[in-house]
Structure 1
Amino acid sequence: MKVLSCKAVSSSLLMALSLGVIAGCGGDNPQPQAAGSEPKAPTDLKVQFMVPSYADVPNMNDEYWSKFQKESKSQLEVEWIPSGDYDTKFDLVLASGNIPEVLVAGNITRPTLQNAVKQGAFWDLAPFLGDFSKYPNLKNNSYKEVWNYMKSEGGIYGVPRNRPQIDISLKMRKDWLDKFKLPVPTTLDEYTAALKTIVNGDPDGNGKKDTIGLIGQGFLLADGDGSFLSAFGGLDPVYDKEGGLINKNLTANYTDMITYFRQLYTDGILAKDFSAIKQTQAEEMYTTGRAASYARNVWRDFTFEQGIKKVQPEGEIISLPPMKGPGGVSVQLSVPFSGAFYISKKVPEEKVKQILDFFERTTTMEQTDYNYYGIEGVHYTMVEGQQQLTDLGKKQVTANGTGAIFPLAYNNKMKVINPAAPKVYNDAKAASVESYSKVGKIDFFSIINSNTWISIWPKYNSEWQSMVVKAIVGQISMDEYKAYVDKLNNSAEFKKAYQEFAKEYKEKIGS
């Protein structure tokens, strides 16, 4: 496994050392921090981080990071691990016991993480945080329920990396809908019919019927699974007859979704090699105009559209409105955090406080704006009231994962706005997905945990995925798949896990 690392002097703390009043985010969120409540920056704070890198490894001496270095008087030793290798590296680090001072966990329910928490590898932060009177930014600039979601083993071990709930959308080629005089779908049936018309036609005018209706990446559709599962009611809690909360993968709703994908596959709508497509392949297929629909972050609409226009000048991408399905609508909201920071128990208690002060200082809208746009006149200029990234900004800010080591402030437009797009485009895009937050559902299995599930599911996961793919491509019947799921659900160990899920759901989310 190739590991890219970059250990360098950087900054953490906001350049907001010079700022007084911290602005809130509005909506559910964040109220302004009282003037004068910001803690003083520690001097020469040195902290080790291990974080995933989703793009190029940052140059910690460029303009963006140099400003942090100078104003924060901090040194961050950051080990950047390519995101595709991160889970493997994460597990190896936990197994070795050689844990960096601050470790990012992308999935707070990951079995290896939960086992490490039980074994005392990380600090319980609840006694430090107390009533949050010393940490108003961490409280007020985070989603209102997020700290409840962080609870585990009777304590709080993670500092959430705040992220917006509006994130993933099902995309559609609007120009192709127009070409076949099709309305924008508002139901799953209309969506399916539109895709069937497109793949049976010749939308790109190349004289061939080679257009793919729906593509994804990884197992099933990856980013798109939740949108479809939501339409089938699979993001609502489903209980067995004993009151256990059935894992979403093994509900009748999920089985209904598989039946739907099976028909898409039969009709030539779903990509034939859907289970083997990698993310880079999916992006290339979509941006070269070979597919009609794809699920990814809303902000990517502009980027994908610009790519398509190079080969198909009329190309236009929309994020579809919530579409009504058999059991819900086609919108999955992200949980309001992207993993969390965990502080190694090897860190001295006094330094834990300094690190929490670091996080307090960086959980602001000013920090979030800096993370997103960088320095005015260097990384962006103001155009019609909106920050417009310069070429340097696109390189140093957009492409270097600047938000990896900061909690940031909760802001529901963060994954909608594309800083490379014109303001009129961004305003229209934000308006088009505004309803998502009102009707969408979160995957609460990203929040709740079951010790029994942690121990048993790894033994079945690969087999289950194989059964799902076989059912979709027709290698087994749906009755065979249902019998397989029933066998799992009726086993004593699965029933025990479902009881534990039900208990956690009630504690963290409520009835």
Structure 2
Amino acid sequence: MIAGKLYGYALSMVLFIGLLAGCSGGNGNEPAVDSSEEGTPNAAEPAAAAEALKLQFMVPSFAEVPDMNDQYWTEWQKRTNTSLDVEWIPSGDYDTKFDLVLASGNLPEIIVAQNVTRPTLQMAIKQGAFWDLTPFLGDFSKYPNLKNNSEQNVWTYMKSDGKIYGIPRNRPVIDPGIKIRKDWLDKLNLPIPKTLDEYAAALKKIVDGDPDGNGKKDTIGIIGHGYLLADGDGSYEAAFGALDPFYNQEGGLVRDLLTPNYTDMVEWFRKLYADGILAKEFTTIKKTQAEEMFATGRAASYTRNIWRDYTWEQENKKTQPDAEIITLPPMQGPKGVSVQLVPPFFGANYISKKVPEEKVKQILDYFEETTTMEYTDFNYFGIEGVHHTLVDGQPQLTELGIKEVTTNANQVFALAFNNKMKVFNASAPKAYNDAKLKDAEVYGEVGKTNVFNIIASVKWTEVWPKYEKEWQSMATKAIVGQISMDEYKAYVDKLNAMPEFKQAYQEYAAMYKEYFGE
């Protein structure tokens, strides 16, 4: 069973916390090393004051563009003996910018791809835009950190035509969750929903009521950002069984978007749209807009990283002191539960073929040095006494830490694989984080992963861009009631019957078998 294969190897929360405790000599919420000057990597001045390695990156920005001369980034560059030239692109615009840069051929030294199966990336790889890292990495004897501190199967997922081109950006598999305003549930005497039907019913009562007390019935039930709900799609797909492998009559592995289970999800959202639960402009909302809407109490439910609960709860408390945001426990859907596990990586770093071979080795040395829990903890908490203090044995970000140590801090290295990063909030009290980590354990036990974020098909890469916008338009029309579900189903059947789609599904099936077995 694919879910078991994908999350079975992931560290459980308990084991992970125990690992951190073993590394740090303290409890599991302490950094692996003291973030003070003593005992940290490269804390001492280099003996010969070697010239800093200049590195040029293009990365997505998930917060305000940082000041590379602030205390955090000054210390990072000092410890790594680097000089970073980083082009920060707003995350909502990143894929568009990424495609434009690939098309221009004017690549930075290192570029982040948020999705390793992105068609434009796969085409660029085949056209020789990036270095084949396979001969450099070899058996990883020169890169033990990249091997041992990455998830055990992630380097297999980096391969294209059997060769490694990307350096994985390690991420926890426990990450997104469906959020809801629990204080609004309480206000309306509604229990925490245990099924999708209960969830939809609760949201209907919220949008028909006045939970924020402003005298208007203007609360949005569900928001997302981009098509369909972007980060939220997978959680609902899992509940409808759309993340389970589905094969056609020829034995081809059908893309999740074009399965009957996904179509069932489209039909469910059609009802929610008709009931006024799904945001009317659901396909055009940008990520920054969605974040602002949820953080200011304009929406009841949004699916993003679990760690954001505390941050957005504090924002809502500024205008609604009783605000309480929770990530919902797994809800039962028609063919699964509402939990998506993400791949153990969030895209990868690619090195332009224009970079000289000798510098490729230097870049790999940089990633090798920084792919440790020591650097990952520094990335998370910054400098002790400056960016964080220890409270009950847990690093607590200071006001400066909250400003400087943002999610952008992890965009320029690979991180060490762990399963706490997207649950733990460095600004939250220890008791809050302990409870969150405990609650999230069940996600790793029942969630499903979308394998199409891992496996690729040359034919799909070639064909899908021709139909993607048309398909999105048809699905949107079905949801908003402009076409019937029968018309939408007929359209999906037409795509699935096309020879090029059938070929893509055969390629997917072969790669699935290679990675995961039968």
TM-score w.r.t. structure 1 length? 0.89
1:424 pairs, out of 431, 435, 442, with: 431
Aligned residue in 2 for 1:114:
122
Aligned residue in 2 for 1:151:
159
Aligned residue in 1 for 2:342:
334
Q: Is 1:407 aligned with 2:414?
A: yes
Q: How does 1:482-493 map to 2 (within 5 A)?
A: 482-493=489-500
Q: Secondary structure at the match of 2:411?
A: helix
Distance in 1 separating the partners of 2:503 and 2:19: 36
Cα RMSD of the aligned pairs, angstroms, is 2.3
1:209 pairs, out of 214, 217, 228, with: 217
Aligned residue in 2 for 1:507:
514
Distance in 1 separating the partners of 2:431 and 2:404: 24
Q: Secondary structure at the match of 1:131?
A: coil
Q: Using the TM superposition, give the Cα deviation of residue 333 of structure 1 relative to its aligned residue in structure 2, in angstroms.
A: 1.1
Conservation of the 8 A alpha-carbon contact between 2:80 and 2:366:
no
Q: Using the TM superposition, give the Cα deviation of residue 133 of structure 1 relative to its aligned residue in structure 2, in angstroms.
A: 1.8
Distance in 2 separating the partners of 1:473 and 1:89: 30
Q: Using the TM superposition, give the Cα deviation of residue 209 of structure 1 relative to its aligned residue in structure 2, in angstroms.
A: 3.0
Distance in 2 separating the partners of 1:412 and 1:148: 20
Q: How does 1:269-348 map to 2 (within 5 A)?
A: 269-348=277-356
Conservation of the 8 A alpha-carbon contact between 1:25 and 1:410:
no
1:436-464 C-alpha deviation (Å, 9 max, x unpaired): 11111111111111111111111111111
Distance in 1 separating the partners of 2:420 and 2:135: 33
Distance in 1 separating the partners of 2:299 and 2:77: 44
Q: Using the TM superposition, give the Cα deviation of residue 137 of structure 1 relative to its aligned residue in structure 2, in angstroms.
A: 1.1
Aligned length: 482
Q: Is 1:478 aligned with 2:505?
A: no
1:26-71 C-alpha deviation (Å, 9 max, x unpaired): 7899x98xxxxx9999853222222222222222222112223333
Q: Secondary structure at the match of 1:294?
A: strand
Q: Using the TM superposition, give the Cα deviation of residue 93 of structure 1 relative to its aligned residue in structure 2, in angstroms.
A: 2.6
Q: Using the TM superposition, give the Cα deviation of residue 482 of structure 1 relative to its aligned residue in structure 2, in angstroms.
A: 0.3
Identity within the alignment, %: 69
1:461-503 C-alpha deviation (Å, 9 max, x unpaired): 1111111111011111000000000011011111111111111
Q: Is 1:50 aligned with 2:58?
A: yes
Q: Using the TM superposition, give the Cα deviation of residue 427 of structure 1 relative to its aligned residue in structure 2, in angstroms.
A: 1.3
> Unpaired segments of 5 or more residues in structure 1?
1-23, 33-37
Conservation of the 8 A alpha-carbon contact between 1:232 and 1:253:
yes
The code of the aligned residue for 1:181 comes to: N
Conservation of the 8 A alpha-carbon contact between 2:92 and 2:287:
no
Conservation of the 8 A alpha-carbon contact between 1:28 and 1:143:
no
1:343-362 C-alpha deviation (Å, 9 max, x unpaired): 12232333222211111110
Aligned residue in 2 for 1:368:
376
Over 3 Å counting, the alpha-carbon distance change for 1:45 and 1:210 in structure 2 is closer
Q: Is 1:441 aligned with 2:448?
A: yes
The code of the aligned residue for 2:462 comes to: S
Q: Is 1:90 aligned with 2:98?
A: yes
Over 3 Å counting, the alpha-carbon distance change for 1:121 and 1:279 in structure 2 is closer
Over 3 Å counting, the alpha-carbon distance change for 1:136 and 1:213 in structure 2 is same
The code of the aligned residue for 2:448 comes to: K
TM-score w.r.t. structure 2 length? 0.88
Distance in 2 separating the partners of 1:103 and 1:323: 38
Conservation of the 8 A alpha-carbon contact between 1:118 and 1:153:
no
Distance in 1 separating the partners of 2:60 and 2:389: 29
Q: Using the TM superposition, give the Cα deviation of residue 25 of structure 1 relative to its aligned residue in structure 2, in angstroms.
A: 5.3
1:451 pairs, out of 441, 458, 468, with: 458
> Unpaired segments of 5 or more residues in structure 2?
1-14, 24-40
Distance in 2 separating the partners of 1:289 and 1:79: 32
Aligned residue in 1 for 2:472:
465
Over 3 Å counting, the alpha-carbon distance change for 1:69 and 1:292 in structure 2 is closer
1:77-100 C-alpha deviation (Å, 9 max, x unpaired): 322233233323322332233322
Distance in 2 separating the partners of 1:508 and 1:286: 38
Aligned residue in 1 for 2:133:
125
Distance in 1 separating the partners of 2:506 and 2:138: 30
Q: Using the TM superposition, give the Cα deviation of residue 201 of structure 1 relative to its aligned residue in structure 2, in angstroms.
A: 3.0
Distance in 2 separating the partners of 1:266 and 1:86: 32
The code of the aligned residue for 1:294 comes to: Y
Q: Is 1:353 aligned with 2:371?
A: no
Distance in 1 separating the partners of 2:199 and 2:138: 49
Over 3 Å counting, the alpha-carbon distance change for 1:277 and 1:451 in structure 2 is same
Distance in 2 separating the partners of 1:102 and 1:397: 22
Q: Is 1:498 aligned with 2:500?
A: no
Over 3 Å counting, the alpha-carbon distance change for 1:70 and 1:217 in structure 2 is closer
Over 3 Å counting, the alpha-carbon distance change for 1:344 and 1:205 in structure 2 is closer
Q: Secondary structure at the match of 2:87?
A: strand
Distance in 2 separating the partners of 1:57 and 1:288: 22
Q: Is 1:198 aligned with 2:206?
A: yes
2:107 pairs, out of 92, 99, 105, with: 99
Q: Using the TM superposition, give the Cα deviation of residue 179 of structure 1 relative to its aligned residue in structure 2, in angstroms.
A: 2.2
Over 3 Å counting, the alpha-carbon distance change for 1:203 and 1:91 in structure 2 is closer
